[in-house]
């Protein structure tokens, strides 16, 4: 019997859940859906997926919070973040997501290829963190910084000048992070 890989798709927009579910099912995956992070955590307890796909901006529990819990409790679960409001500036792989797609800026073949790659990756390489991720807004949302230690995300204030190195502590765990805002929309991070 052919085992279908199971994907948990989390998005608060019903139309996105419907379209992406259809695309994934057409590609041969079994798909469960959830409308926010709390519903996703309940779904994870009932039936562990092989991969998680989540939006970042959602009510109740957003994607940042969900991914932080997933990385802490289910570190081997590959995760894909999708957002229309953020794009990721990464150094190597980010701690929260193994892949990121900006809504409206990727092709279905590219999306399915990356999912297949993550599902076929050896378990010991899943969930490895090699650096931090800064989530930069595409509209009026704040710039979000993900701590490389506790994996929580929090807003940071963009600097006044075009280049401004600084250190800041994680608002949650106190880890000192080196952050360099190179230019608007481009951020480098080192722990």
Instruction: Look up the domain containing 65 and give its range.
Output: 6-125
Average pLDDT over the chain, rounded to an integer: 77
Residue 164 in 3-state DSSP?
strand
CB-based contacts of 78, cutoff 8 Å, min separation 6:
50, 51, 52, 98, 118, 119, 121, 126, 127
Same domain, residue pair 102 and 180: no
Question: Mean pLDDT across the stretch 172-189?
Answer: 58
Residue 50 lies in a domain: yes
Contact 86, 133 (CB under 8 A): no
pTM: 0.69
| pLDDT of 128 above 50 | no
Same domain, residue pair 153 and 121: no
Same domain, residue pair 121 and 155: no
What is the number of structural domains in the chain? 2
Residue pLDDT, tens place only, 3-60: 789 999 999 999 999 999 999 999 999 999 999 999 999 999 889 999 999 998 899 8
Residue 64 lies in a domain: yes
List the Cα angle 40/99/66 in 5-degree steps.
Answer: 25
What residues does 117 pair with on adjacent strands? none
Residue 44 lies in a domain: yes
Same domain, residue pair 33 and 68: yes
What residues does 30 pair with on adjacent strands? 6
Assign residue 47 the CATH number of its domain.
3.40.50.2300
pLDDT of residue 172: 75
């Amino acid at each position: 019997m052919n085992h279908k890989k199971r994907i948990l798709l989390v998005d608060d927009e019903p139309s996105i859940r419907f379209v992406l579910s259809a695309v994934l099912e057409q590609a041969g995956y079994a798909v469960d859906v959830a409308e926010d992070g709390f519903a996703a955590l309940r779904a994870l307890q009932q039936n562990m997926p092989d991969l998680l796909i989540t939006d970042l901006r959602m009510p109740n529990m957003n994607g940042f919070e969900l991914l932080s819990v997933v990385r802490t409790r289910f570190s081997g679960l590959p995760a894909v973040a999708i957002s229309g409001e953020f794009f990721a500036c990464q150094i190597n792989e980010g701690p929260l997501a193994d892949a990121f797609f900006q809504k409206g800026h990727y092709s279905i073949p590219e999306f399915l290829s990356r999912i297949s790659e993550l599902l076929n990756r050896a378990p010991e390489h899943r969930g490895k963190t090699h650096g931090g991720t800064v989530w930069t807004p595409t509209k009026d949302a704040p710039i979000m910084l993900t701590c490389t230690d506790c994996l929580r995300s929090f807003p940071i204030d963009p600097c006044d000048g075009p280049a401004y190195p600084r250190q800041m502590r994680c608002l949650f765990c106190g880890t000192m992070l080196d952050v360099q805002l190179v230019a608007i929309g481009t951020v480098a991070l080192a722990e």
